[in-house]
Structure 1
Amino acid sequence: MTAFILVAGLFTNAHVWEGTAGRLTAAGAEAHAVALTGLDGPPGGAEVAGIDLETHVADVLAAIDSAASGDIVLVGHDYGIHPVLGAADRRADRIARIVHLDSGMPQDGVPALAAVPDQSLREQLAERAGAGGAEGADGVLPPPAREAWQRWGSTEGIPDVALDRLTALAVPQPLGTLLQPLRLTGAVDAVPTTGVLCTGNGTSIEMVQMLVGFGDPALQALTDPSVTFFELPTGHWPMLSCPGELADTLLRAAAGEGHRLTPAEAAGTPGHLRPFLLDVPEIPRERNGNVDLYLPDAAGPRPAVVFVHGGPVPAEARPTPRDWPTLVGYARYAAAQGVVGATLDHRLHDLADYERAAADVAAAVEQVRADPRVDGDRVALWFFSGGGPLTADWLGAPPAWLRCLAAVYPILAPLPNWGLGDSRFRPADALAGAGTLPVVLVRVGLEMPEIAATVEEFLAAAKDCGADVEVVDVPNGHHGFETLDPTDESREAVHRAMRSVLARLTD
C-alpha cells in the first residue's frame, strides 16, 4: 500500500487536501495531510515565535516515521516542497517518490523566500528581515484577502465556495519558514521525483523541455529516467479546483508513470539552433560590445530594425542569443532588403531580470541609433517570445523615431507564476499610450495555451483602444517556427511580417 504524505503551501494547511485525500483513500492508498506547526490553528491565532523551516521539516519527519506503509510518496505543494525535501534528505531510504506539485526546485542553502512569486514582496521581506534580525524572522506574513490570492498563483478553476473557504481558513505564514535556508546533504537526489505542472499557472512540459534545450546545467537532472512529469489544465491549487484529477495523477506518479524529458544531447540539434527557414545572404556582422550590426550594401544612413531575443536564457548558454540562427537570419534578411539589421544580447537570465533586460535593450537601441550609418529617426523594434513583456515600455510612450514595433510568438503578459503582475511589463495595459504606432504581431496556431492566452488578452485590449495592430497568422506554426517549421506557410509569414515592418520604416 502506498502512503501519500501531503504538505500544503503558504497560508494553508491540511484542510486543503480533504477532497484529494478522500479520493486517494477510496482508491486503497493511505493519505496523511501534515498539520504544519503554526499553521494548524484558527486564523490569526498562531504563536509563531521560533517557528522556522526546520520546525516544518520536523513535522514532515514525524509523519514519515509514523506512516504504516513502507512505500511513501511525499507531495509538496508550493512552499510545502521545502520541508518535504528537507525531510526526504534525512529519510531518503524510506521515500519511494517525491512529487513537486506546481512548485519549484529548491536548492541547498536557498530559503523559501526565493520562491515567493511576487518580486517586490520578496525584496520587502528580505529588507525587513535584514533590518529586524531575529525579531524580523519571528514576524508573520499576513494571508491574502480573497481577491489577492491571484498574486500567489492562478486561481483558475477554484469554485467560489472553495475560494471563500480558502480565504476564511488562511493563517499568517511565520517569516522564519521563508527566511531560513534549506539544508540538504544530497541524499535526496537519489529519490525518484515527479513534477505536476499546472498549465493555468503558466508552466507546461513543453516549456520545461524548451529550457532543457537551452542547456541550463541546473535542469539537466530533469532528464533522468527517474524523473516524470504530468500536466493539469488548471490553476495553482489543483487540490481545490480538480481534487479527483489530482488524486488520479498522484496514483499514476506513485506507479512511475508520466512523461519523461528528452536529454538535450539525445534530441539532436536543439530547436533554437536549427537552420533559419530562409536562404539569406551571408552578410558579415560587425560586433561592438553586446550589439551586432548587419549592414546593407547601400549608401547613406539607413533605417534599422533591432531584433530583441526572448528568454529567460541561462547566462551560461552558448551560443548566446544574438548568434542563434533565427536572430542572425532575420538581421541578414533585413540587411538584404536595404536596412540595417541589429541583434543584441541582454541579461534576461531569470524572471527577476526584466528590469535590467529593459535597460540593456534601451542602451543597445541608443547605440544603434547613434551609429552614423543608421538613420536614427527611422527605427523598428522586433521582439521574440519572452521578450514580449519588454514591449510595454515602448508601447506606453513610443518615441517619434520608433516607426514600427513587431512581436513574434510573444508572451504578452507575465504568466501567473512569474510574480510580475504589478510590474510595468504588461503590454496590454501599455497599449492605451501607443497612439498611432503600428504593431505587427506574428501569431502561431500551435502556440502553448498559456502563452496564447496572453496574446488574446493583448488583442482584446488593442480592439478596445483602437490600436494599429496587424496580425500575421501561421496556423500550423509552433513557437519558434522559423527553425521548427520550414514550410511555405512559415516562409510566407516571415516575408509578410518583414514587408509590413519595412513599409513603415521606408514610407
Structure 2
Amino acid sequence: MTEFVLVAGAWLGSSAWDEVAQELRAAGHGVHPLTLSGLADKRGAPAGQQTHVQDIVGEVERHGLRDVVLVGHSYSGIPVGQAAERIGDRLARVVFVDSNVPADGESFVSAWPDGRAMVEGSIAEHDGFWAPLTAADYAGQGLTDEQIARIVAGSTPHPGATLTEPAVLERSLGELPATYIKCLLDGAEPAPDVAALLKSDRWRLVEMDTGHWPMFSQPRELARILLDATGPANPST
C-alpha cells in the first residue's frame, strides 16, 4: 500500500484534496492531506519555509509511513522537494503538481522574478502575509464558477516568511524519483529549472489539459496520474 501525503499550494489547506483523496482511498491506499502551519485550520501558527518542511517530515515520521509518495502543488513543491530529500528511504516518489521546485539557497520569490515585486508588495501591505487571489484571478484555468467559489472560500492569507526564506538542499533534486505534472492552461512548457531536472532519467513529465488547480478542475484525472506514479520509473516523455 502506498501512502500519499498531499500538500496544496499557497493559501490552501488539506480540504483542497477532498475529491482526490477519495479516489486514492477507493484504490486502497493510505492518504494524508496536510494543512501547513499558518494556513486554513492552522491559521495563526507562526511559519517560515523550514516550518513547512518540518510539517511534512513530521507527518511522515509521526505516522511511521513508508512507501511514501509526497505530492506538492504550486508553492508547496518547494517544501515538499526538501522534505523528499530528508525522509530518506521512506520515499517512493515525489510528485510536483504544476509547482515550483526548490533550489539550494533560493526562495519562492527569487525563483519567480516576474512576480517578485507583486508578492513582496502584498506581504508588506498585509502584515506579513500574501493576500489570497480573488475569483477573477482564476479565469481561464478550466474551473467552473462553483469550483472557483470553493477555492476562494477555502483560501487564507499565506505566511510571507515561507515565500522569502531560502531552501536548503544537500543534493540535486534530479537524483530523486520524481514526476512533474504540467498543467497546460497555465503555460505549455515547464519552467527552465524544471526542464533541466526533467533531463534526469529518474524524472518523468506528465501533461494535463487543465489549469493550475487540477485537484479542483480534474480531481479524478489527477488521482489517476498519482496512482500511475507509483509504478516503475520511465524516461520523461
| TM superposition score normalised by structure 1 | 0.43
Counterpart-to-counterpart distance in 2, 1:23 and 1:258: 24
Distance 1:58 1:127 in 2: 27
User: Which residue is equivalent to 1:160?
Assistant: 145
Look up the match of 1:112: 108
- Offset of residue 143 of structure 1: 0.8
Query: 1:58 matched to which residue of 2?
Result: 54
Task: Name the structure, 1 or 2, with higher relative contact order (CA <8 Å, separation 6+).
Answer: 2
Output the amino acid matched with 1:139.
G
Provide the residue aligned with 1:191 in structure 2. 176
CA displacement, residues 228-248 of structure 1 (integer Å, 9 cap, x when unaligned): 111111111110011111000
Q: Partners in 2 of 1:174 and 1:225 — Cα distance?
A: 35
Whether the 8 Å contact between 1:230 and 1:258 is mirrored in structure 2 is no
- Note the C-alpha offset of 1:104: 2.9
- The answer on 1:37 being equivalent to 2:37 is yes
Counterpart of 2:161?
176
Output the CA distance in 1 between the equivalents of 2:171 and 2:126.
27
List runs of 5+ in structure 1 lacking aligned partners: 262-507
The residue aligned with 1:222 is: 198
Asked if structure 2 preserves the Cα contact closer than 8 Å seen for 1:92 and 1:187, the reply is: no
Deviations 1:48-99 (A, max 9, x none): 5x41111111110111113454210101000011110121222132211111
Aligned equivalents of 1:234, 1:194: Cα separation in 2: 17
SS at match of 2:198: helix
Gaps of 5+ in 2: none
What CA distance in whole angstroms lies between the structure 2 residues aligned with 1:246 and 1:142?
27
- Give the greater-gyration-radius structure (CA): 1
TM-score (norm 2): 0.89
Q: Which residue of 2 aligns with 1:328?
A: none
2:135 to 138, 141, 146: 146
Query: What does residue 79 of structure 2 align with?
Result: 83
Q: Identity of paired residues, percent?
A: 33
Root mean square deviation of aligned Cα: 2.7
Q: CA deviation at 1:40?
A: 2.7
Q: Which amino acid aligns with 2:201?
A: P
Give yes or no for the alignment of 1:251 onto 2:237: no
CA displacement 1:1-42 (0-9 Å, x = unmatched):
101111110111111100001100000111111111110328
1:185 shift after superposition:
1.1
Deviation at 1:116, TM superposition (A): 4.8
Change in 2 beyond 3 A, CA 1:70/1:217:
closer
Residues 16-415 of structure 1: pairs in structure 2 closer than 5 A: 16-41=16-41, 46-47=43-44, 50-116=46-112, 119=114, 121-126=115-120, 139-150=128-139, 154-156=140-142, 158-186=143-171, 188-203=173-188, 207=189, 219-256=195-232, 260-261=236-237
Q: Matches of 2:187 and 2:169 in 1, distance apart?
A: 28
Shift of 1:223: 2.1
Contact 2:130 2:160 in 1 (8 A): yes
> Which residue in the other structure is 2:5 paired with?
5
Aligned residues: 237
Distance across 2 between alignment mates of 1:155 and 1:217: 23
Instruction: Measure how far apart 1:128 and its partner are.
Output: 8.0
The superposition leaves residues 120-143 of structure 1 with CA deviations (integer Å, 9 ceiling, x where unpaired) of: x511444787xx7xxx99711111
Summarize the Cα distance change of 1:149–1:81 in structure 2 as closer, same or farther, 3 Å threshold.
same
